[in-house]
Structure 1
Amino acid sequence: MNPFFGSVFWLLVTLGVLVTFHEFGHYWVARRCGVKVLRFSVGFGRAVWRRIGRDGTEYQVAMIPLGGYVKMLDAREGEVDPALREVEFTSKSVWKRIAIVVAGPGFNLVFAVAALWLMFMLGRPDAAPVVTATPGSMAAQAGIQAGDRLLRVDGEPVTTMSDAMDDVATALLGREPLPLVVRGRDGRQRDVVLPLQELPAGRSIDQYFDSLGLKLGPLPAIAGQVMPDQPAGRAGMRVGDVLVAVNGTPLADFEAFAKAVKEAAPKSPQLDITVRRDGQLLHLPVLARWESLEGSPKQWSVGVGAERAVRRYGPARALRAALQATWDSTRQTFTMIGKMVSGQASTRNLSGVIGIAQVANQSAQMGLPWFLNFLALVSLSLAILNLLPIPVLDGGHLLYYLIELVKGSPVSERTQMIGQYIGLVLLFTLMGLAFYNDIHRTLLS
């Protein structure tokens, strides 16, 4: 699919799923609290599909898919039939109104945990945390060498490249020294400290990563994946075999193995691949094939893949991992918000609809587990954003109700009206800034 149309399609899928789930939270709790729901809308503006349910609620899908709403019977919006007074929103206790407001973000939080739970059960293929450093970069000067495997980042163990880079990204926002534990190609562990405090303030995460120079490194020459019905598997190769040589040509890393197969097979498909297993050298006669795998262009292949890191768990362990991942992402998000408010982190790190669309398309192309991970992160971000104490958002309404609990009476309509204007200005400012960042990144890429 064309990248542009793919981004638009997966953005619509993302917003359709998450907005529907968010609004269903408001709808479901409102009904349980005895409030009459007049309309449940996915999207804004003119309806493109509409039906009236048995409960009298109007369900619709509208033309502008950037949100949605639940319209309840509310005395603040006009006269209410006395016979319907008991099912009107403002007639309910403040605690019920709080429950209805919190339900939307709450359902987004539940969705995030559920998506991560399913992702961990399916298993998300990822690169092993093997890194290299750009020559002359901060990482290189700190002592990172090609082929180093990250074991710990800031004291936390890491098993995948994504986990490692997430922890590094969080540390970059704080610009404080970051301790790493790495294992080199020689098998020895080393302590390395990245002097992030030397990075200039006010830059975006992308700029910080460029200055840091820490990248995915040459993967070790290890058979991380061996397809049983392919040449290498039939010749007896096993997962974990160390790839030593192809036709006598020594191998430094997996990239060298792929290059050696590509160069040797056209001369003679019969290859002599030397592997090390349990300390012994084995010579495997492998007959390479000229074929297309998974729709890619034809090439010489022996059915061996690089080392991969897949986190796949049973239901109970997956749930624990999902809860931990949700907590970690929540903590990282609030850390970023706090640092942007204090000026320690740049507002260039904000992304808008364009950025979300691009990442949605990229994650969808990487497979269901990655797309579930993306949905979970966006859903969690929506929950946190909506709980910020900004009028017009759920958090703004929650703030009004908390004030009502303290003072014993509702906030005046004048105060709410002023708050609405302030909230709209803040919201449009954030949206405009995020949109500007998206356009700026697109033009620079």
Structure 2
Amino acid sequence: MTEPAEKSEKHPKSSLKPSFTLLIIMVVVVLLGYKVARDPVAAWSAFCNIAIVVLGFGAVIFVHELGHFIAAKSVGILVEGFSLGFGPIVISFKKVQGGLQVRILPSLIPGRHGRGALRAVIPLPWRQDGDTEYRINLIPLGGFVKMLGQEDVAADKPSDDPRAFGNKAVWQRSIVIAAGVTMNVICGAVVFMIVFAKGYAMPPAVAGDVAPLRPAALAGIRPGDVITAVNGNKPFGFLDVFIAAAFTDEDEKVNLTVSHPDGSVETLALMPEKDDSSGIKVFGIEKPYTLSIAKVEEAGVLKEMEKIGIKPGDKIIAVNGEPVSHYYQLSEVLYPLPGVNPGEIVTLTIERTDQSGEIIRQPVEIPMRLSIVEPRQKTLAAIITHIMGMVPRLQADSVSPDGPGAAAGLEPNDVILRIGTSPHPTLEELKDYCKEHVDQKIELLVQRTENSQVIEKILEVTPRREKQSLWARLWNKPNVIIGFYPRLDLDAPIVAAFYSDAVNKYPELSSLPRGALITAVAGEPVENWRQIMDRLDQNLGRTVQLAYRAAPDQPEKTISLNMTDKFLWAGFAYRPDWGRLIDLPLEPHTELFKGDSWWQNLRMGVNQSYSFLAQTYLFIRGMIKGTVKASAASGPVGIFKMSYTVAETRNLSDFLYFMALISICVAAFNFLPIPVLDGGHFLMLLIEKLKGSPVSIRVQEIVSYAGLMLIIGFVIFVTYNDILKIIAGQL
């Protein structure tokens, strides 16, 4: 077909840009060729994995842009281009008068007029030009939609064309902006539906470990309990239980119906409480586990496991000689309630298959230590751990190397005898004293062991305000710190303070002075708090004589305590000593979730989409408030690495599930009210609707570029952290 003559245009940089792009492509091809030549099998496998990940990411972003495209067309906005992928155009199609225009590599081979030298028209009986050019670009990572007059970063361009984006009503533009995230959510729900049609393994609504002193434990929930209903509704896996706690209103209770291992069923009303480490309301219930040791690849963790006597793939079949088949049976012994003494050693019998295929069984002895259990609130100020109301002395567990304490000479294991004029301070008293003397030099009297000798040393320390990010300061006042992580001194039976609730119940405790040394319980000498706890436990229900000295040179005195219950054990419990391991690496317990019909699968998909949307916004809120570290987030590199790991398994269900999760996360992130993102554009339209006129072009440009800088800065930050995690083997 004959086309009208076009005005010749000069492009001074056009020859450089295509040449540079071609150079980059050639370099990539050479590098891939080198990789293939060295190890063809590994290279092909890696190429397939990368291709799967790229196509997955591309599909997620393509669906997002498809939402914008369909919405724009439906409200009559002129869409100039719809691209599948980014980078140089490989091939494009556009309806023109008389046929279908095809352009091949127009960016790399622009031709005389810059519209592509490899350009042709396939004759078709079309009488007018189309509006949209459909493009397939080189890099298949998503796509984009170009609407007339609409700009992502700068202010929208004014146009006289009624089909321009800016000339449409606010409600029509709002539909177009919201359509991208809507499509991502719908796509995520549909993919989840497909996955659940086949069946997918997830953690069920079963209590794994239950944190002491948390709402679940105080209500009577124990490991192994099955949560059959949340406010009368059947939970869809463990995530529903987490969401139910996180989204409660102030002073709102949640009714959990639980089935205990003995077959009994009861409904308990729990009021979730805020976990200060995450800023999220929780019940205090952890996910369930199996009895099998998980696969571990980190060399340091494997070394510590070897010291204990366990290996990946081992299965625990007995505890102290008693057969076990469920995790809760193991948990009851390894993580007993406060006041329960499981003995100094717990023996696990493990089953292992050696290299010859022979099954062997061997015992593994785990030492048990009296430890501080998790307090109600995970703030250092909340540590009120005690035995019968008696609080041990405060001790430095570790010292921050850049804190005031380290500068003053504070060392790990130092016992705090006095701060300023306050003797034997509790952690709360120490923090209050520091607040009153911030940036002032004060005396800190500590006790430590040097060359097998117990000595006292006076340090001069200057408390200072804790360094916090700008975001954290907006929500929380900075703490005044010395710079050490506390624990309680359980080796010396010296009473530093008293728990007020216990003194009210046992007035006899008021005769004990602070700093008193407990010498005997029920007539038996004691040398540490562990022995005190054991003696009191042995005499539960009796009147116990407790002997003490107010000072080493003072005569011994006694008081009588009536041991009526175990309420006042709160704060201490026996826990396994895993050495340098945080915990035993067990495989998570999962169950197959599969619907009986497509309708049920769709409901499950919608439920899972809602749960992940909620969890994503909780995570983002935590980062904004400073309760969740921004380094916990993953950027493009981290997400790509996780996707690659999933792709390596060649499990289609896992990959589809992960891509559906990414689609939901893209929707949640993209609708944040940040300029440049869809949520920012939506906010601008809302302001325009409220004020009756658009935001000024100048303001739009300022906030758009500020939002762009914020997004770029955040991407650089998370990418840097992702690279560090990959180097450290954490991704």
TM range (shorter): 0.5 to 0.7
Partner residue in 2 for 1:405: 689
**In structure 1, which of residues 21, 43, 46 is the aligned counterpart of residue 85 of structure 2?**
43
Alignment gaps of 5+ in structure 1: 204-211, 220-244, 268-305
Amino acid at match of 2:672: L
Task: From the superposition, tell whether residues 99 and 128 of structure 1 become closer, same or farther in structure 2 (CA, over 3 Å).
Answer: closer
Distance in 2 (CA, whole Å) between partners of 1:60 and 1:401 is: 29
1:345-373: CA deviations, max 9, x gaps?
A: 22233111222223323444363333332
1:220-247: CA deviations, max 9, x gaps?
A: xxxxxxxxxxxxxxxxxxxxxxxxx9xx
CA apart distance, 1:40: 1.1
Task: From the superposition, tell whether residues 309 and 413 of structure 1 become closer, same or farther in structure 2 (CA, over 3 Å).
Answer: same
Structure 1 SS opposite 2:604:
helix
Distance in 1 (CA, whole Å) between partners of 2:274 and 2:621 is: 21
Amino acid at match of 1:27: F
Partner residue in 1 for 2:609: 326
Structure 2 SS opposite 1:52:
strand
Partner residue in 2 for 1:53: 94
**Which deviates the most, 333-342 or 12-21?**
333-342
Partner residue in 1 for 2:625: 342
Partner residue in 2 for 1:32: 74
1:216 equivalent to 2:298? Answer no
Task: From the superposition, tell whether residues 368 and 395 of structure 1 become closer, same or farther in structure 2 (CA, over 3 Å).
Answer: same
**Given the two structures, how large is their TM-score scaled by the length of structure 2?**
0.41
Task: From the superposition, tell whether residues 129 and 394 of structure 1 become closer, same or farther in structure 2 (CA, over 3 Å).
Answer: closer
Task: From the superposition, tell whether residues 181 and 359 of structure 1 become closer, same or farther in structure 2 (CA, over 3 Å).
Answer: farther
- Whether the 8 Å CA contact 1:123–1:313 is kept in 2: the answer is no
Structure 2 SS opposite 1:69:
strand
Distance in 2 (CA, whole Å) between partners of 1:314 and 1:115 is: 15
1:95 equivalent to 2:176? Answer no
Distance in 1 (CA, whole Å) between partners of 2:688 and 2:263 is: 63
Task: From the superposition, tell whether residues 421 and 31 of structure 1 become closer, same or farther in structure 2 (CA, over 3 Å).
Answer: same
CA apart distance, 1:36: 1.6
- Whether the 8 Å CA contact 1:109–1:383 is kept in 2: the answer is yes
1:432 equivalent to 2:507? Answer no
CA apart distance, 1:427: 0.8
Distance in 2 (CA, whole Å) between partners of 1:390 and 1:107 is: 20
- Whether the 8 Å CA contact 1:7–1:358 is kept in 2: the answer is no
CA apart distance, 1:200: 7.0
Percent of matched pairs sharing the same residue: 28
Amino acid at match of 1:29: A
- Whether the 8 Å CA contact 1:131–1:217 is kept in 2: the answer is no
Structure 2 SS opposite 1:106:
helix
CA apart distance, 1:101: 1.1
Distance in 2 (CA, whole Å) between partners of 1:30 and 1:434 is: 33
Distance in 2 (CA, whole Å) between partners of 1:386 and 1:101 is: 10
1:420 equivalent to 2:687? Answer no
CA RMSD, Structure 1 to Structure 2 (Å)? 4.9
Partner residue in 1 for 2:29: none
Partner residue in 2 for 1:118: 194
Distance in 2 (CA, whole Å) between partners of 1:437 and 1:190 is: 46
- Whether the 8 Å CA contact 2:243–2:611 is kept in 1: the answer is no
Task: From the superposition, tell whether residues 190 and 441 of structure 1 become closer, same or farther in structure 2 (CA, over 3 Å).
Answer: farther
Partner residue in 1 for 2:668: 384
Partner residue in 2 for 1:242: none
- Whether the 8 Å CA contact 1:158–1:164 is kept in 2: the answer is no
CA apart distance, 1:172: 9.3
**Which deviates the most, 432-441 or 57-66?**
57-66
1:119-166: CA deviations, max 9, x gaps?
A: 2222113466778669x9x9xx999999x3653698798888xx3267
- Whether the 8 Å CA contact 1:130–1:217 is kept in 2: the answer is no
Amino acid at match of 1:356: I
Structure showing greater radius of gyration is 2
CA apart distance, 1:337: 2.0
1:68 equivalent to 2:149? Answer no
Alignment gaps of 5+ in structure 2: 1-41, 96-129, 280-284, 293-316, 328-347, 360-588
- Whether the 8 Å CA contact 1:131–1:216 is kept in 2: the answer is no
Partner residue in 2 for 1:164: 238
Distance in 1 (CA, whole Å) between partners of 2:677 and 2:590 is: 45
1:352 equivalent to 2:428? Answer no
Distance in 1 (CA, whole Å) between partners of 2:174 and 2:643 is: 32
- Whether the 8 Å CA contact 1:131–1:150 is kept in 2: the answer is yes
Distance in 2 (CA, whole Å) between partners of 1:343 and 1:261 is: 46
Higher RCO (C-alpha under 8 Å, 6+ residues apart): 1
**Which deviates the most, 306-315 or 107-116?**
306-315
**In structure 2, which of residues 183, 198, 206 is the aligned counterpart of residue 107 of structure 1?**
183
Distance in 2 (CA, whole Å) between partners of 1:185 and 1:409 is: 64
Partner residue in 2 for 1:151: 227
CA apart distance, 1:433: 2.7
**1:276-355 aligned within 5 A:** 308-355=591-638
- Whether the 8 Å CA contact 1:41–1:70 is kept in 2: the answer is yes
- Whether the 8 Å CA contact 2:671–2:679 is kept in 1: the answer is yes
Distance in 2 (CA, whole Å) between partners of 1:184 and 1:263 is: 40
**Which deviates the most, 367-376 or 421-430?**
367-376
**1:163-202 aligned within 5 A:** 163-164=237-238, 167=241, 201=277
**In structure 2, which of residues 639, 642, 655 is the aligned counterpart of residue 371 of structure 1?**
655
Distance in 2 (CA, whole Å) between partners of 1:317 and 1:213 is: 27
CA apart distance, 1:44: 3.1
- Whether the 8 Å CA contact 2:239–2:611 is kept in 1: the answer is no
Distance in 2 (CA, whole Å) between partners of 1:78 and 1:437 is: 38
Distance in 2 (CA, whole Å) between partners of 1:16 and 1:412 is: 35
1:315-356: CA deviations, max 9, x gaps?
A: 122222222222222222222222221222222331112222
Structure 2 SS opposite 1:86:
coil
Distance in 1 (CA, whole Å) between partners of 2:174 and 2:157 is: 22
How many aligned residue pairs are there?
366
1:10 equivalent to 2:294? Answer no
CA apart distance, 1:413: 0.9
Amino acid at match of 1:102: A
